[in-house]
Amino acid sequence: MPPLKKMRIIIIYDNDSAKAGLKTGWGFSALIEVRNAPLILFDTGNDGASLLDNMEQLGIDPGKIGIIVISHAHSDHTGGLSDVLELNRHAKLYLPASISGRIAGREVIPVSLPTYISEDVISTGELKGIEQSLVIETDRGIVVVTGCSHPGVGEIMDVASRYGKVYGIIGGLHGFRNFDLLNSLSLICPCHCTQYKSEIKAMFPQQYAACGAGLTLEI
């Protein structure tokens, strides 16, 4: 039997907190651990000091992060990037092509089309020239991690479904309300900018996971 493709995601920065003592703020950041891949930092919140403080409390060493993925250019997802880079001299940066530029001494990979970041982690590409999300292959199916879902949840799910059946979605869903798109999911974790959390929770109580800084999900 092949080994399970397990993943773990730790929410580092969010509007809400799932663990006492962690700082909150308007923004999003998560650490993603998957088999056969370096540690992945997805987005960096709005405030570097709060991001690093939460990392310390969660036992996350910024220097051990191997890949940094930025979903889109808004400051609530990029605000802590410079602070992390001061403590990490080796991580590869996967940036949307529309915002990627040279960062001294860094390997920057501009992303426009779907791109494999590691064996089981794929960028959707910069959808609609706005934002990239992550598609993670696990034995339970595809897990999607989003920043704000500005291109639309339907657009993101369409790309993700090319790689297999979508098991769950984690991240900001913005003003998304076409809830029928979530009917087949086993995990729904709306974070950050999601406007209709209460409606999603009421419709999908068994699948719903309340997001917040400190939340850890193992899949």
pLDDT score, position 1: 40
pLDDT score, position 113: 98
**Model confidence at 106, in pLDDT bands (50, 70, 90)?**
confident
Beta-carbon contacts of 178 under 8 Å, excluding residues fewer than 6 positions away, are 153, 154
Fold observed for domain 7-213: Metallo-beta-lactamase; Chain A (3.60.15)
Starting at the edge strand that comes first in sequence, how are the strands of the sheet with 121-123 ordered? 115-118, 121-123, 134-138, 141-146, 166-172, 187-191
Q: Residue 191: pLDDT above 80? A: yes
Burial code of 11-34, b = ≥16 C-beta within 10 A, e = fewer? bbbbbbbeeeebbebebbbbbbeb
Q: How far apart are CA 193 and CA 148, in angstroms?
A: 6
pLDDT tens digits along 121-171: 999 999 999 999 999 999 999 999 999 999 999 999 999 999 999 999 999
Q: How far apart are CA 5 and CA 24, in angstroms?
A: 31
pLDDT tens digits along 2-44: 555 689 999 999 999 999 999 999 999 999 999 889 999 999 9
Q: Residue 70: pLDDT above 50? A: yes
pTM, 2 dp: 0.96
Q: Which residues pair with 145 in a beta bridge?
A: 134, 170
pLDDT score, position 192: 97
Do 30 and 42 contact (CB within 8 A), yes or no? yes
